[in-house]
Amino acid sequence: MTDTPTTVPLATRVAQQDVPPGHVVAWWLGGSGFIFKTPGSARVFIDPYLSDSAERIFGAGNKRGFPRPIGAEDVRATAIISTHWHEDHLDPGAIPAIARHSPTTRFIMPPSATARALSWGVPRDRVTALTAGQSLTVGDVKVTAVPARHEAGIPGWEAPDAMGVVLEAEGLRIYHSGDTEYDVRLRGLKREGFDVVIACILGFTRQFPFILSRARDHRWLTIAEVPVQRRLRGRTLGILGILGFGRSGQRTAEKARAFGLDALAWTRTPRPADLARAGARAATFEEALECAFVSLHLPLTEATHGLIGREALARMRPDAVLVNIARGAIVDTDALVDALRAGRLAGAALDVVQPAPLPPEHPLWSIPNVWITSHTGAISAEAADDAWSTVVEDVIRVRNGLPPAHAVPELRGEVITTIEPGVLPPPGV
């Protein structure tokens, strides 16, 4: 993009960068943050996270994953776009400083984020609330908000009006997804979650939590010291209970069958064809809870929040293991801790927890028959490659005049309207 040495501060490089007609120059700020500059010298920043706010608010588990590329006081932007209100997108450590040092910058965000920006001292006439389908022009750039999904999975952290944005300048259209799901079907690319379920089942069946804890103490165990280990194949009690039966549940059932487990599935919308394909049997909620392994594959909704509480845990077998790769708040954490401490449950494998991240002093860390995998169950190099290749495939299709294979459904037939800068909900909203 430029031959300017990288030792020159980014703010200087952006200011000095010439942009030829028909082009837009972009700089990556780390995370989902970008700067876009046009021939008309418009500088549009999207989701600039330029402080350590997340670490200060949530603790050391939320350290920056990349160096701060530019100081907030050095930002000179035509517009700052925040795609939703979470602190690594609407940065409380950067937005007020930008507003002070760059007095002509406009701030564009969903309605749910505006009250925060105003409370930080950003002038009301410089804040614009934008919702999907609306657009405005800043400099020579047309900014259009498009539907986006950001399912935080934690009560109080919902971002129902999160947005992606389409920037139009110089005959180019640039889509920024705003750190949200591009399309729900991308979830199908995440094959690792059900691998984690099977790994946890194998680990608890072979008493790995106990054996590995002793290994960390440099202890070689005698056979008599090892708790009873079991065989999966042929066990009459080796039943996998799956709560919910979408893609994740189905793939878990298929893998479980390969190990000789009998898969039972509880779902409010049973589909016989899916059950038959996965080799699973329909079960009631109570029957699923009586399995040797209960694996959760549910979205977090009002109906599922706290679904696995004291009553549900009391129905589980004392030799059962709970596996949660879904959402932490589906399980009542306090009730789970009590059940484990009382020996009413053989173990728990938790890829997700509530609260998250789990504080260092939380009792779950010290319970020996608990595995906590820090929400890494869906992560792998291959999953990342799959997700990127899907997005790139659609970019190529659009470039070639074809419709994207994974278009955001809500955009089909969407009517775009235009609003004036400075439009906000009434004070206090």
- What are 78-117's pLDDT values in tens digits? 999 999 999 889 999 999 999 999 999 999 999 999 999 9
Give the contacts of 419 (CB within 8 A, at least 6 positions apart): 128, 130, 134, 135, 136
Domains observed in the chain: 10-185+388-418 (3.60.15.10), 191-372 (3.40.50.720)
Of the candidates 302, 164, 295, the residue with the CA atom closest to the CA atom of residue 240: 295
Edge to edge, what strands does the sheet with 106-109 contain?
Answer: 25-30, 33-37, 43-46, 79-81, 106-109, 127-129
Decide: helix, strand or coil at residue 410.
helix
The pLDDT of residue 239 is 38
CB atoms under 10 Å from CB of 389, counted, come to 11
* Spatial separation of the C-alpha atoms in residues 296 and 187, rounded to whole Å: 16
The pLDDT of residue 424 is 41
* Spatial separation of the C-alpha atoms in residues 183 and 200, rounded to whole Å: 29
What would the two tokens of residue 86 be?
A: 């979470």
Decide: helix, strand or coil at residue 174.
strand
CA angle 70–71–77, rounded 5-degree value: 80
Counting Cα atoms < 13 Å in the Cβ hemisphere of 150 gives 22
Of the candidates 113, 118, 105, the residue with the CA atom closest to the CA atom of residue 129: 113
143-194 residue pLDDT tens: 999 888 776 555 567 788 889 898 999 888 888 887 765 444 444 445 556 6
DSSP string, 19-69: --TT--EEEEEETTEEEEE-TT--EEEES---SSHHHHHH-GGG--SS---
The pLDDT of residue 408 is 54
- Burial group, residue 75, by CB count within 10 angstroms (0-12, 13-18, 19+): buried
Its pTM stands at 0.55
Point out which residues pair with 418 in neighbouring strands.
135
What would the two tokens of residue 14 be?
A: 């952006």
Chain-centroid distance of CA 422 in Å reads 31
Residue 254, φ and ψ in degrees, nearest 5: -60, -45
The pLDDT of residue 184 is 43
Following CA atoms 344, 345, 346, 352 in sequence, which dihedral angle do they give, to the nearest 10 degrees?
Answer: -150
The pLDDT of residue 180 is 65
110-140 residue pLDDT tens: 999 999 999 999 999 999 999 988 999 999 9
Decide: helix, strand or coil at residue 264.
strand
pLDDT < 70 stretches in the chain:
1-6, 60-61, 151-156, 180-194, 230-247, 378-381, 383-384, 406-429
- Burial group, residue 219, by CB count within 10 angstroms (0-12, 13-18, 19+): exposed
For the chain, how many helices (H) and strands (E)?
Answer: 12, 18
Give 79's DSSP letter: E
Point out which residues pair with 43 in neighbouring strands.
37
Q: Are 404 and 178 in contact (CB under 8 A)?
A: no
